[in-house]
Structure formats: C-alpha cells, structure tokens
Amino acid sequence: MPVKPIIVWFRNDLRLADNSALSAAAASAAPIVPVYIHDPDAAGRWSAGGASRWWLHHSLSALSSALGDMGSTLVLRRGPAEKILATLAAEVGAQAVYFSRAYEPWARAQEDRVKAGFAAGEIEIKRFAGALLREPEEVRTKAGEPFKVYTPFWRALTALGPPSTPLAAPKSLSAISRKVASEPLAGWQLLPSKPDWAGGLRQAWQPGEAGGRARLDEFLGEALAGYADTRNLPAVDGTSRLSAHLHFGEVSPRLCWHRAIAVRESGKARDAAVETFLKELVWREFSYHLLIHWPNIPDRPFKPEFGAFPWKDSAADLKAWQRGLTGYPIVDAGMRQLWHTGWMHNRVRMIVASFLVKHLLIPWQSGEAWFWDTLVDADLASNAASWQWVAGSGADAAPYFRIFNPITQGEKFDADAAYVRRWVPEIAALPDAVIHAPWTASASVLAGAGVKLGKTYPLPLVDHAEARQRALDGYAAMRS
C-alpha cells in the first residue's frame, strides 16, 4: 500500500535548512506536499503591510524555485488556513500536517482553528518550534513567572546553554505522483501598484533563503569584528541587516547564533563584538516572550498608566514625519531611508521614534502602524516592544525623561554627516558644523549652500527645548 503524503504548511519559515517540520517530513520517507496559504483576513489589522508583501512575493518565488530544484512543487492557496488544509488533505489523502509554530495572537488562534478542523485521530497535526532560539515558555524567573526586564532574561536564556545545532536541508524530497492545483503567485497582487516605489527595495535586498545566507556570510566576514563599535553609525554598513530574513524565516536564529560563535572561536571577532550581536538576537527573543505573555502589547501600553498621557496627535505633524520633512536632518534622513529601502538603521529608528512620541506628542501606535506598512522587516513582536520601549510605556522601557536630542544624536553618530547628506541632499552643501541644525547657520552660509529654509528645506516643526519640556510636563501630568 502506498505511503500517504505529509502536508508541510510553510508559514514564517520560508527555508529548507533548519526547518524542523520539513526535515521531519523528509525523514519519514513519505511523499511531501509543501503548501503556503495566503490568509490575510486571519491577521485582521495586522495583515502584512506594503513592504512586507513585496518581500513575501519574492521570498515565495525563491522558495518555490528551491523546492523545484529538489523535485518538489510549492502549492499556493488563498483563503482560511483551516479550510484550505482540510480540503488539501482530502485531495491528496494526507496522513499528517506538519508546520512551524507562530507567535502572533492571530496566528495562535489560526493554529487552534486548524487543529479543530480535523476530527480526533483523523489526521496527525504536528507543530514544530523553529522561529526562536528557545520557546517563550522555556525562559522563566525563579518564581516561574515571565520576565519583564531584558538583562535577567538574557542571563536566564544563556544559562540554559546554547541553542540546538541547526539542521541541514534535506538531501531529497519525495513528491506525490499526481498534480496538485496551485494558484499563480502574481494573482495574489502582493507587489505594489506603483512599481517605482519598489525600485529602492529591489536595489537593497535579495529576499529568499539564498539571499539570507549571503547576507549572513557578508556580515560575519566583514562587519561582525567591529560590530560593537560600528553598529550605531548609520553611514557605515555595520549592522547585520538580517531582520527581514529572520522575520520571514529565510535564516534561523539558531544558524545565526552558531555561525557567530564559530567566528569568535576562530579568533576573527572579539568576545565583545560577538556578545553584542547575540544580545540583539536575544532582544528579538525577549520581544516574542513579551508578546506571548502579554498579547495586547501591539495595541495597548504595557504600563497602563501611559493610557492617560496627554497626546497631541496632529495629522499634519504625523505626515511631515512620515515624509521626512520635520526640519531635523537626522530624523528626515531616517524616514527617507525607510521609504526608499524599506529599512532604517537601528540607532536612527530610536531617534525618529523618540522624536514622534516625545517631540510631537503623537501616540506610539501611529509610528508603529507606519513602520508596519513600510518596513520589510515589520515584525509584530519587535515592532511593538521597541516602540513601547522608546515611549517609556513598555517592559524594561527607556525612562520617560530620556528624550533624544536629534541634533546631538546626529552630531555624535553621524559626525561627518555622510548619512544625512545621502538622504537629505538638498542640504548636502552645508558645512559639518551646522548641517545637523541648519537653522543655526548664518544667512551667508545658507545662501552659499543653496539652502532656503522654509522653501528648499523645512524649518523645524518644533523647538527641541520647548518640545522636551512639553513632553516632561505631559509625563508629570500622567503620573499625577
């Protein structure tokens, strides 16, 4: 009697290597039916934004090609996952559905519906870990509670020992003999209706597992050694730029961890550089830990008292921030980099977020929503945790009185203004001494650089000192 096939449901694990669900199915020697289900309605308001949809299209195309090279075919279906899987299982006579766990509240509800959609014992439904170094429930305080502070979380996670060794990609996959109906990827209309907007994304990124591996290789070989020193400099390619590859599961955090350790053991990177990178991986873990235990953090402040903060919520100010027209060059450079490439340097993310929340008094949820639509690495856990960290309302958050000065932040981390000059070219001719605060330049200096404040480049939306005091007053009112 022929062996019944196993359906492998791809989700946020769009890779062949270190994919526990795929490896387990391949080891069974059963024919495999790989499927990706486009189910945006399940995510509701957190369905993928424009930049993420662009990435997903190309990542699925890459996965389809990789599976094709192994003699398998990726099936694409659109609709409620529980109905699609039930229909597909009946079509192919499947014995099991294997998939990797996801952690978003809507994804957890989706998993419950999938399990409920099959009668008990009718078919095996098996969920595997794979998106994190450790499952969120594994890391607990000594009292058995979830962590609310990052540093003890880091210590507890590392005390558990290194994550398990990444799995190699299966050497072969057995395909079923019959053809299975699949929808055309182009029909899902994931790509933007304005192709020119995606031009910068195409130049900056190579979605897919091969692109993720290439980016990891480049980072480990060129940037990891200086990571602790250069990761805060936006004009330098000193960060890993792996966030989107991790979000879509094109590379696994276990692979990143073990590869970084191997570089350290080879003597090609100092302990401090490697530990700094590992701590960034664990910040991602901490964000998921928070999302699992406090699933409302994308929508509501972790610290409830922040619900009483006196927000200004100006639509005009929000639009100026989104377009990179605030009059503060480091802020505007970051917002333009985001629009052009779908990504922003991490240091600058903190600066622009602080500016929105603490200078403009616009709710952090508005910034979170803009990032969700424009970031190729838009990740519900990391996005929510990081915005709340900056706002002061989150777990282990920055103190409410920490208000980044966008002028000094620019002068410190973009001292020669290379980053600002690239993304805000209309002020590129200004000298270093005034470029981070153009309104302080003399009329002759402005004229010599071809800058007309209020015309070719905007005047500041707010005065820093006044905005800082206004924010502090708002926090004082909230606390009282």
Structural domains of the chain ordered from first start: 6-130 (3.40.50.620), 132-166+207-293 (1.25.40.80), 304-479 (1.10.579.10)
pLDDT tens digits for range 234-243: 999 999 999 9
Given this model, what pLDDT does residue 171 score? 93
The neighbouring-strand residues paired with 99 are 9, 127
Whole-angstrom Cα distance, residue 93 to residue 206?
Answer: 36
Given this model, what pLDDT does residue 142 score? 96
Q: How confident is the model at residue 195 (pLDDT cuts 50, 70, 90)?
A: low
The mean pLDDT of 204-219, rounded to a whole number, is: 98
Q: Are 84 and 13 in contact (CB under 8 A)?
A: no
pLDDT tens digits for range 139-176: 999 999 999 999 999 999 999 999 999 999 999 999 99
Q: What percent of the chain has pLDDT over 90?
A: 94
Given this model, what pLDDT does residue 116 score? 93
Q: How confident is the model at residue 43 (pLDDT cuts 50, 70, 90)?
A: very high
pLDDT tens digits for range 391-440: 999 988 767 778 999 999 999 999 999 999 999 999 999 999 999 999 99
Residue 2 has pLDDT above 90, yes or no: no
Q: How confident is the model at residue 1 (pLDDT cuts 50, 70, 90)?
A: low
Q: Are 410 and 402 in contact (CB under 8 A)?
A: no
Is this structure's pTM higher than 0.85? yes
The mean pLDDT of 470-475, rounded to a whole number, is: 94
Given this model, what pLDDT does residue 402 score? 84
Q: 344-359: b or e for each residue (b if 16 or more CB lie within 10 Å)? A: bbbbbbbbbbbbbbbb
DSSP 172: -
22: left (phi over 0), alpha (psi -120 to 50) or beta: alpha
pLDDT tens digits for range 297-322: 999 999 999 999 999 989 999 999 99
Q: How confident is the model at residue 479 (pLDDT cuts 50, 70, 90)?
A: confident
Phi, psi at 310, each rounded to 5°: -80, 80
Whole-angstrom Cα distance, residue 276 to residue 213?
Answer: 20
Q: Are 260 and 220 in contact (CB under 8 A)?
A: yes
Given this model, what pLDDT does residue 66 score? 98
The mean pLDDT of 94-98, rounded to a whole number, is: 97
User: What is the chain's mean pLDDT, rounded?
Assistant: 96
> Which of 16-30, 80-94, 257-271, 390-404 is predicted with the least confidence, judged by mean pLDDT?
390-404
Given this model, what pLDDT does residue 233 score? 98
Given this model, what pLDDT does residue 130 score? 80
Phi, psi at 34, each rounded to 5°: -80, 135
Q: Give residues with Cβ within 8 angstroms of 136, minimum separation 6.
A: 103, 146, 285, 288, 289, 291, 292, 293
Enumerate the active-site residues: 280, 283, 311, 346, 364, 387
